[in-house]
Amino acid sequence: MNQMDQTKICCSVCLDLLKDPVTIPCGHSYCMNCIKNVACDVCTGRKMKAFKSCLFCLASYCEKHLQPHYDSPTFKKHKLVEPSKKLQENICSRHDEVMKMFCRTDQQSICYLCSVDEHKGHDTVSAAAERTERQRELESFTELIHLIPKRSSDVKQQIRSQRETEVSRVKELQEKLEQEITELKRKDAELKQLSHTEDHIQFLHNYPSLSALRRCWLQDHAIIHVWFVFVL
């Protein structure tokens, strides 16, 4: 197999035969996993999978080449993050400097030179300070999101409790109404029986007063009215 054929069937990252090959627009082919993974920028030949990326160096390192960051005091202030392919997005396209500041006026990340040039006089803070502020807002928003289901559950419970209370009131009114209807029927039967009494004295003795009949009717009418208003 000549060199050209081998190049076509080998991954440019791991240098092995292509596995689940993917061809990018420029024509190069890579293994799917190699495309997904971030490769070490220091490895020559076969590139190992990056273990961390450095925001100060703007480079990604495998475990072997990352070791100096742990051992040497020179790298003490370097910021290590999870492997990222977007490190170049941290570079200012205008000044080719790392963007470590944030302009709140224009809502964009900037470098130090930007802050004394086109963003001079703007409300600027360090990227870390802006991150802290937005992290706080994010946490508040997250708490709100978590609170909504609980609040919804509380409202549903209140609705259920109110419904149960209303049902109980309806049942109570219904029972009261049935009792009053039974009482009215009993009184109606008594009045019918009284109307057939031939003895005038007995009739007058047993006949309820007009005021008592009126009071009884008003009371029963009020209960029936409350029932219909409540139900309707």
In a domain, 224, yes or no: yes
In a domain, 85, yes or no: no
Q: What per-residue confidence (pLDDT) applies to 66?
A: 92
**Mean of the pLDDT values across residues 92-114?**
89
pTM of the model: 0.46
Q: Residue 125 forms beta bridges with which residues?
A: 102
211-228: pLDDT as tens digits: 455 555 555 555 555 545
Instruction: State the Cα torsion 146-150-156-160 to the nearest 10°.
Output: 160
In a domain, 68, yes or no: no
pLDDT at 33 over 50: yes
**Mean of the pLDDT values across residues 3-7?**
47
Q: What per-residue confidence (pLDDT) applies to 106?
A: 92
Q: What per-residue confidence (pLDDT) applies to 39?
A: 84
Q: What per-residue confidence (pLDDT) applies to 32?
A: 63
CA distances from 76 to 67, 73, 96, 196 (A): 12, 5, 23, 114
pLDDT level of residue 68 (50, 70, 90 thresholds) = very high
Q: Which domain holds residue 142?
A: 130-231
| Cα separation, 184 vs 173, whole angstroms | 16
* Cβ atoms 2, 48 nearer than 8 A: no
* Cβ atoms 58, 88 nearer than 8 A: yes
How many domains are contained in the chain? 1
109-130: pLDDT as tens digits: 999 899 998 999 999 999 888 9
* Cβ atoms 7, 15 nearer than 8 A: no
* Cβ atoms 101, 125 nearer than 8 A: yes
pLDDT level of residue 90 (50, 70, 90 thresholds) = confident
In a domain, 167, yes or no: yes
Q: What per-residue confidence (pLDDT) applies to 76?
A: 87
In a domain, 100, yes or no: no
| pLDDT, the chain, mean | 76
**Mean of the pLDDT values across residues 10-14?**
66
**Mean of the pLDDT values across residues 51-74?**
90
In a domain, 110, yes or no: no
| Cα separation, 168 vs 98, whole angstroms | 70
In a domain, 119, yes or no: no
**141 or 34, which is more confident:** 141
In a domain, 177, yes or no: yes
Question: What are the structure tokens assigned to 196, written together?
Answer: 């057939």
